[in-house]
Homo-oligomer: A and B are copies of this chain.
Amino acid sequence: MSTIVSTQVQLAARPTGWPTADDFRTVQVMYGDPEPGQVRVVNEFVSVDPYMRGRMNDVKSYVPPYALGETMTGAAVGRVVASASDDVPVGAVVLHQLGWRDVAQAEAKYFQVVPEIPGAPLSLRLGILGMTGMTAYVGLTAIAGLQPGETVFVSGAAGAVGTAVGQIARLLGAERVVGSAGSAEKVELLTSKYGYDAAFNYKDGPVRRQLRDVTPGGVDVFFDNVGGDHLEAALDRMNDGGRLALCGAISAYNATERPAGPDNMANAVTRGLMLKGFTLPSYLHHGPEFQERMTEWFAAGKIAYDETVVDGIENAPQAFLDMMRGGNIGKMVVRTAG
């Protein structure tokens, strides 16, 4: 009755160091009518995220590596246009992990029906109202145990997670929030829009010195998206009993040689620091709590956001590459043609 062409982006080669457009290829897949139990979804937005870089390597990690010739999986949001399942009706908005394609067709179990949130573009389900925002929330609460009155430092603060961390930290009662970013424009945005008390451009000089200048009272909670010199600088500034939520290490993702680690790990002993790495799949049980609080904050107009939107599924690789180099402010998403 209704066959459809799905444009999909696959991993064509495993990059060494920085990926390039040649590591991907775009293919067309034909779908016939949904079979019994299947659903057809036209995506509106697909997500490009830093963790995907790790999956392009053929190494064991918390998510398995992409197979060569496999369509890049990852978060996406769309609407059901055809359904042969009683569980997922036509017209429903669904989240799924089928990734970089404009049309997704699969068994209903792969799709999670979510309500529309008044005033919120669907893309926010991939960002501040979705996994990105939840990563920020879990890192500050379950991992770092942020207490009111504390000072928070966020690395990569203008990224998707970072812009959420600063605001959530403030809403949870942080006394002072400081962040780093990679351009003057981003730094300005952090203090003007995202409630940061101070921010610095890590390209302007040593992170160690710049962080010291903006944290006269030290740091209680460090939310790390970057690793490397940022982690080292934070270890110097942590107050006794400080907690470091290690969310990412984008500085290392494309390195071909292992970077030297922080030279001051001994501070962890003398200051009684806790460093805890985390990835969201282990903390999905915090989802309901996050959704409740974030929806309330959003409805009350307390959540600012930026998105960097790239049009066309065929441009997903370039969006991903730009994001890895810091070309985004807030969440980077790809708007699919539908």
**Chain A contacts to B: CB under 8 angstroms:** 54, 61-62, 227, 231-232, 240-241, 246-249, 252, 258-279, 282
Contacts and interface: CB of A to CB of B under 8 A. Distances in A.
A249 B267 CA distance: 10
Contacts of A282: 241, 272
Contact of A275 (B227, B266, B275): B275
B277 A272 contact: yes
A259 B260 CA distance: 10
Total copies of this chain within the assembly? 2
Contact of A277 (B227, B262, B271, B277): B271
A272 B261 contact: no
19 contacts: A54-B270, A62-B240, A62-B271, A227-B265, A246-B268, A248-B269, A249-B265, A258-B264, A259-B263, A260-B263, A261-B261, A261-B265, A262-B265, A268-B276, A271-B277, A272-B278, A272-B279, A273-B276, A275-B276
Contact of A279 (B62, B231, B248, B270): B270
Contacts of A232: 261
A261 to B, nearest CB: 3
3 smallest A-B Cβ distances: which pairs?
A261-B261, A268-B277, A258-B263
Contacts of A227: 265-266
Contacts of A249: 265-266, 269
A261 B258 contact: no
A279 B268 contact: no
A260 B259 CA distance: 10
Nearest to A243: B276
A263 to B, nearest CB: 4
